[in-house]
Chains A and B, each alone.
Chain A
Amino acid sequence: MTFRNADVLLDVLRYQLGLTGAKPGCLNGDCGACTVNIDGAAQKSCLMLAVEAIGKEILTIEGLNAPIQGVFVDQFAFQCGYCTSGFIMNAHSLIETKKNPSDEEITAWLESNICRCTGYMEIEKAVKSVIHLPKGP
Chain B
Amino acid sequence: MNIIGKSVIRKEAFDKVTGRAKYTADELSGPSLHARIVTSPYGHARILSIDDSLAREITGVRAIIVGSHEFPLTGEEIRDRPPLAVDKVRYYGEPVALVVADRYEIAKKAAELIEVKYELLPVINSPTEALKEDAPILHPNLMSYEKIGTAYPVAHSNISNVTKIRKGNIENGWSQSEVSVEATYGFSPSSHSAMETRAATAEIKPDGYVHITTSSQAPFMVKRLMGIYFGIDIGKIIVETPLVGGAYGGKAPIQWEVLAYLASRAVGGKRVKIVYTREEDLTTAPCHVGLEALVKIGCTMEGVITAAEMVYWFDGGAYSDKAIDVSRAGGVDCIGPYNIDNVWCDSLCVYTNHPYGTPFRGFGHSEVLFAFERTMNMLAKKIGMDPLEFRKRNSILPGHTTPTQVVLNKNTVGYLPPCIDRLKDLLDWDQGEITEVDDRRIRVKGIACSWKTSTIDTDASSGVIITFNSDGSMNLMSGVVEIGTGTKTILAQILAERMKMDVEQIHVKMDVHTQTTPEHWKTVASRGVFMAGRAVLEAAEDVIRQIKDVAACVLRTSTEDLEVAFGRVFLKDEPEVGLMLKDVVYGYKFPNGNSIGGQIVGYGNYILRRMTYLDPETGAGQPGPEWTVAAHGVEVEYDKRDFTYKLVRAATVVDIGVVLNHKAALGQVMGAMSMGLAFAGRETFVFDELGRVMNPQLRTYRPIHYGENPRYLVDFVINPVENAPYGSRGVGEHGLLGMPAALANALSIAAGVELNELPLTPELIWRTKGAEL
A contact residues around B590 at 8 Å (CB):
none
Query: Please, how many angstroms separate the alpha-carbon atoms of A61 and B277 in the complex?
Result: 23
- B712 proximal to A (CB < 8 A): yes
The stretch among A37-45, A50-58, A71-79, A129-137 that forms the contact with chain B is: A71-79
Return B245 CB to nearest CB of chain A, in Å. Answer: 3
Number of A-B residue pairs having CB atoms within 8 Å of each other in the complex:
160
- B90-98, B480-488, B600-608: which one contacts chain A? B480-488
Smallest CB-CB separation from A75: which chain B residue? B663
Query: Does B50 count as interface, using CB distance less than 8 angstroms?
Result: no
Q: How many residues of A contact B (CB 8 A)?
A: 53
Chain A: CB-nearest residue to B28? A18
**B15 — nearest CB in chain A belongs to which residue?**
A81
Count contacts on B: residues with CB < 8 A to the other chain.
Answer: 59
Distance in Å from the Cβ of A108 to the closest Cβ of chain B? 8
> Which single residue of chain A is at the shortest CB-CB distance from B678?
A116
Chain A residue nearest to B195 in the complex (CB): A82
Q: Quick check: B246 and A117 within 8 Å, CB to CB?
A: yes
Output the nearest chain A residue to B16 by Cβ-Cβ distance. Answer: A81
- Give Cα A28 to B701, complex, Å: 13
B-contact bits for A96-137, CB 8 A (1 contact / 0 none): 000000000001001111111111111110000000000000
User: At the interface, yes or no: A33 with Cβ under 8 Å from chain B?
Assistant: yes
Whether A25 contacts B196 in the complex (CB less than 8 A), given A81-B12, A117-B484, comes out as yes
Check if A79 sits within 8 Å of B667, measured CB to CB. Answer: yes
Which residue of A has the minimal Cβ distance to B650? A119
A19 interfacial contact with B, CB 8 Å: yes
CB neighbours of A88 from chain B (8 A): 17
Residue of B nearest to A7 (CB): B105
A47 close to chain B: CB less than 8 A: no
Tell whether, in the assembled complex, residue A20 and residue B19 are in contact, meaning their CB atoms are under 8 Å apart. Answer: yes
B9 at the binding interface (Cβ < 8 Å): yes
Nearest opposing residue in chain B for A66, CB measure? B17
Identify which of B22, B245, B666, B673 contacts A80 (C-beta below 8 A). Answer: B245
B278 & A121 in contact (Cβ 8 Å cutoff): no
Task: Please give, as numbers and ranges, the residues of chain B lying within 8 Å of A26 by CB-CB distance.
Answer: 278, 697-698
Residue of A nearest to B12 (CB): A81
B664 CB–A CB distance under 8 Å: yes
Stretch at the interface among B332-340, B442-450, B703-711: B703-711
Distance from B43 Cβ to chain A, minimum over Cβ atoms (Å):
23
Q: Do A118 and B195 have beta carbons less than 8 Å apart?
A: no
B194, CB-defined interface residue at 8 Å: yes
Closest approach, in angstroms, between the C-beta of B203 and any C-beta of chain A? 19
Q: How far is the CB of B484 from the nearest CB of chain A, in Å?
A: 3
Instruction: Indicate whether A119 sits within 8 Å of B19 (C-beta atoms), given known contacts A114-B698, A114-B703.
Output: no
Question: Can you spell out 18 A-B residue pairs with CB atoms less than 8 angstroms apart?
Answer: A24-B25, A26-B278, A76-B7, A76-B667, A79-B667, A79-B668, A80-B195, A80-B245, A81-B245, A82-B245, A111-B706, A116-B248, A116-B703, A118-B667, A120-B704, A120-B706, A122-B670, A123-B706
Hey, which bits of chain B sit against chain A, CB under 8 A? 7, 9-10, 12-23, 25-26, 28, 105, 193-197, 243-248, 275, 277-278, 483-486, 663-664, 666-668, 670-671, 673-675, 697-699, 703-709, 711-712
Known contacts A62-B20, A116-B193, A116-B194; 17 further A-B pairs (Cβ under 8 A): A14-B28, A18-B28, A20-B19, A21-B19, A23-B195, A25-B197, A26-B278, A33-B195, A72-B17, A73-B9, A73-B13, A80-B247, A82-B195, A85-B19, A113-B706, A116-B246, A121-B712
